[in-house]
Amino acid sequence: MRLRLTPRENSYYDLFAAQAQHLVTGANLLGEMLGADRATRKEIGKRFAEAEHQADEATHTIMRQLNLTFITPFDRDDIYTLASGLDDCMDFMEEAADLVVLYKIEGLPPRVADQVQALQRAAELTAEAMPRLRSMSSLSEYVVEINRLENQADKAHRKLLAQMFEEISDPILLMKLKEIVEKLEEAADAFERVANTIETIAVKES
């Protein structure tokens, strides 16, 4: 295919916005999974797998576009890093949901809701921030809030681990739950990395 010498400037912004919307879908599916029974969780898991597939397609579209454009709206490496970072957010959330289904978890500890709520808010903020990449405006508030949410998620994660080790006597169940909450923590970290990438882009473009 012939190399395009002029970029479709708007396409990257639209693609990032679409990619971030998948994160909102994923985080909300996590929320649905919290109070669901095992059969319902299995159905939610299938919906999550489809949402993750759509998010992957959005990522691949950005990567293909990057390979076909010579001039990009901002640094090529930053475009790649941002697309990969958004993909990581979805992957970690989907892995956590998949483990809940695979391990046939009967009930999640109540504090898992704190982690999920932080992820839902992070996904919403990230989706709201993507259109602002066009003008690079009002992004500092987003970065600050994501960092605050990540700190909140860290605290929720530590409290949850302490509670689990204190209250759960079954070592196998403890191992399964610990793996799930670690994936949720990795998702929170991934959202922070996305915010840091956007901050770097904004600084370069200012």
- Domain positions in the chain: 9-200
Residue type, 168: I
The C-alpha angle with vertex 25 and arms to 141 and 80, in degrees rounded to 5, equals 60
Q: Which of 124, 118, 115, 88 is nearest to 180 (CA)?
A: 115
Averaged pLDDT, 78-94: 96
CA dihedral 34, 117, 94, 67 (to 10 degrees): 160
- Tell me how far apart the alpha carbons of residues 24 and 66 are, in angstroms, rounded to a whole number: 24
Instruction: Lowest mean pLDDT of 6-15, 22-31, 158-167, 196-205, name the range.
Output: 6-15
CATH of domain 9-200: 1.20.58.220
Task: Give the DSSP letter of residue 133.
Answer: G
Q: Is 89 exposed, middle or buried (0-12, 13-18, 19+ CB in 10 A)?
A: buried
pLDDT for 10 equals 56
pLDDT tens digits, residue range 5-32? Answer: 444 455 889 999 999 999 999 999 999 9
